[in-house]
Amino acid sequence: MAGGVTGGGSATWSDRFEQGLHPAIERFNASIGFDITLLQEDLDGSVAHARMLAECGVIESAEADQLCSGLEQIRTEAAAGNFNPGLEDEDVHFAVERRLIALLGPVGKKLHTGRSRNDQVGTDLRLWLRRRIDELDPQVRMFQIALLRQALDHRTTLIPGYTHLQRAQPVCLAHHLLAYVEMLERDRQRFQDVRKRVNLSPLGAAALAGTPVPIDRRSTAAALAFDGIYANSLDAVSDRDFTVEFSAAASLLMVHLSRLAEEVIFWASEECGFVRLSDRCATGSSLMPQKKNPDVPELVRGKCGRVFGHLQGLLTMIKGLPLAYNKDFQEDKEALFDVVTTSAQCLEAMTILIEEGLSFRPDRLEAAVGSDFSNATDVADYLVARQVPFREAYQIVGSVVKQCLSEGLLLRDLSLERWQQFHPSIDADLFDALAPRQVVAARLSEGGTGFERVEEQLALWSDRLGLTNH
C-alpha cells in the first residue's frame, strides 16, 4: 500500500499501519469539530513556513509560490463556505494538508518539511490567542468608559458605603464606580502581560527535538510578528502555561464583573431601590406580572463558574504530563475558546447594562445616606480634633449610638445639650460635621472619596480614556 499523508479511517499514517482507525475511535480521536477555529492561523503559519523553506533553499521559490497560492485558495474557499472537512481529516492541520495536496499534487506534500503538528498547533494556538487578547483590550476599555460616564454624571451623588454588607460610611457614587475602573485597568495590564509570553514562536521545534532540515526559526517568527522564539524545543511543544495564565487573567476579569453584577442586583432590589433597570436589559416573570428581573448581572455572576472551571481543568490537564507533547493537549482548545467567548460576551453585556440598562436614583440614595449611623466615625474624628484620644472617642460614640438605638433616634436628632452630656467639648458645629455631604467632602486623603479628590480622579481617567470633552 502506498503511504498516505494523514490518518483517519480511510488512510494510513505511513506504511507502518495496515488498518484504519475503528470508527468510534476515529470520532473519539478527532478534533476537527473544534480546532477548525484555528484555520486562519494555520494558514498564516503555513504561508510563513513555506516562504522560509524557500529562503533556506529547502524547496524552490516556485514551489513556495505554489504552496502559498494553494493555501490562499483554501482561505478563499473557507470564506465562501466551501471548505468543510470531516472526521476523516482528524484535525485542521491534516484538513489543510489534504486539500493542498488535492490542489497541487506532489508539491503539496512538501509543506510539512521541517515541522510537526506539535509545533504547528502550538503556533496556531498562540496566534489565535494573541488576536483574541488584542480584541479583548478595547472591550475592557469600552466598559471602563461606560463606568466613567456614569461616574461623571454622578460626581456629587452619594451612596451608602458598606463593609460586611452593613452600612459603614457614605461615599461619592463616582468614587464607587471609579473603583471598578481601577480594577479593570489591572485586568488590561494582566492581559497585556500575558500577551508577552504568548507572543513567542514554537515553530521549528518540530516534534520535540528540533529538525536536521536547515530552517530559520527566526525568519518565521518575524513573518508572524512574534517577539522571539522558544529557546528550548522540548519546552516549545510541551507546555500550555500560556493558556492557563490567560485563563487566570480572564478569571480575575470575571471576578470583577461578578462583583459589580452582585452590587447591581442588590441595588435593583426593592429593599434598596438605588437603581432602575431598563426594559432593554431586564426580563419579567412568567407568573408575577409586576416583576422586572436583573437577568444580565445574574447571568454574568453565573458564567464565572464556566471560566473558573476551565482554569481548573487546564491546570489539571497539564499537571502530570511528561515531556514532551501528549495527546492530552487536545483538551486545551475547547476550554480556551470558551474562556475567551464567555469573557467577551460578559464584557459586552455588562457594558450595555451600564450604558443604557440602569439609571441611578439620587433621591433614594440621598435618603439612604441620611437615615443611618454611617456618620458615627465622623463624631469620633470630631472629638479627636479636640484632643480626645481616638480609642476614648470611639467608646463615647459607641455609647451615643447605643442610646440612640434605644430611643429610635439618629445622631442628628440629639440636641446639643444631650451631646454635651457625653462630652463637654462638643459644640454646635458638630451638626455640620454630621451632614452626609460634609462627611464625604471631609475625606480628602489621597485616594479618598472627598469630592475634590474624586474630581482629580475623574479628570485623570477622562484623559486616559479619551473623554476630556465630557
Torsions phi, psi for 448 (to 5 deg): -80, 180
Is 469 among the domain residues?
no
Does residue 16 have a pLDDT over 80? no
What pLDDT, on a 0 to 100 scale, did the predictor assign at position 6?
Answer: 44
Q: Are residues 71 and 216 in the same domain?
A: no
Q: How confident is the model at residue 286 (pLDDT cuts 50, 70, 90)?
A: low
Span 43-56, mean pLDDT?
Answer: 98
What pLDDT, on a 0 to 100 scale, did the predictor assign at position 392?
Answer: 95
CATH code for the domain of 282: 1.20.200.10
Q: Are residues 309 and 392 in the same domain?
A: no
DSSP 72-113: HHHHHHHHTT-----GGG-SHHHHHHHHHHHHHGGGGGGTTT
What pLDDT, on a 0 to 100 scale, did the predictor assign at position 7?
Answer: 43
Domain around 45: 23-113
- Count how many domains the chain has: 3
Span 396-424, mean pLDDT?
Answer: 94
Is 449 among the domain residues?
yes
Q: Are residues 403 and 283 in the same domain?
A: no
Is 16 among the domain residues?
no
Specify whether the CB–CB gap between 10 and 90 falls below 8 A. no
Span 228-242, mean pLDDT?
Answer: 97
Span 42-56, mean pLDDT?
Answer: 98
How far are the Cα atoms of 185, 261, 268, 274 from residue 285, in angstroms, in the given order? 37, 20, 16, 21
Summarised one tens digit per residue, pLDDT across range 204-221 is 999 999 999 999 999 999
Question: Domain ends where: 305, 338, 367?
Answer: 367
Does residue 372 have a pLDDT over 70? yes
Q: Are residues 172 and 194 in the same domain?
A: yes
Is 6 among the domain residues?
no
Span 223-227, mean pLDDT?
Answer: 98
CATH code for the domain of 378: 1.10.40.30
285 is annotated as an active-site residue: yes
Q: Are residues 400 and 327 in the same domain?
A: no
Summarised one tens digit per residue, pLDDT across range 25-39 is 889 989 999 999 999
Summarised one tens digit per residue, pLDDT across range 114-159 is 999 999 999 999 999 999 999 999 999 999 999 999 999 999 999 9
Is 215 among the domain residues?
yes
Locate 334 and state its grid cell. 475547547
Does residue 8 have a pLDDT over 70? no
Q: Are residues 97 and 128 in the same domain?
A: no
Q: Are residues 307 and 228 in the same domain?
A: yes
Q: Which residue has the higher pLDDT, 166 or 12?
A: 166
Summarised one tens digit per residue, pLDDT across range 179-202 is 999 999 999 999 999 999 999 999
Q: Are residues 106 and 205 in the same domain?
A: no
Question: Domain ends where: 345, 367, 389?
Answer: 367
What pLDDT, on a 0 to 100 scale, did the predictor assign at position 235?
Answer: 97
As a whole number of angstroms, the distance between CA 357 and CA 282 comes to: 8
Half-sphere exposure of 267 (CA within 13 A, CB side): 25
Q: Are residues 314 and 347 in the same domain?
A: yes
Question: Exposure of 204 by Cβ count < 10 A (0-12 exposed, 13-18 middle, 19+ buried)?
Answer: buried
Q: Is 336 helix (H, G, I), strand (E, B) or coil?
A: helix
Is 204 among the domain residues?
yes
Torsions phi, psi for 389 (to 5 deg): -55, 140
164 is annotated as an active-site residue: yes
What pLDDT, on a 0 to 100 scale, did the predictor assign at position 20?
Answer: 81
Out of 61, 69, 269, 285, the active site residue is 285
Question: Domain ends where: 367, 386, 407?
Answer: 367
What pLDDT, on a 0 to 100 scale, did the predictor assign at position 12?
Answer: 44
Q: Are residues 194 and 140 in the same domain?
A: yes
Q: What is the mean pLDDT of the chain?
A: 93
- Predicted TM-score (pTM) of this structure: 0.92
What pLDDT, on a 0 to 100 scale, did the predictor assign at position 469?
Answer: 64
Q: Are residues 274 and 198 in the same domain?
A: yes
Out of 14, 164, 406, 415, the active site residue is 164
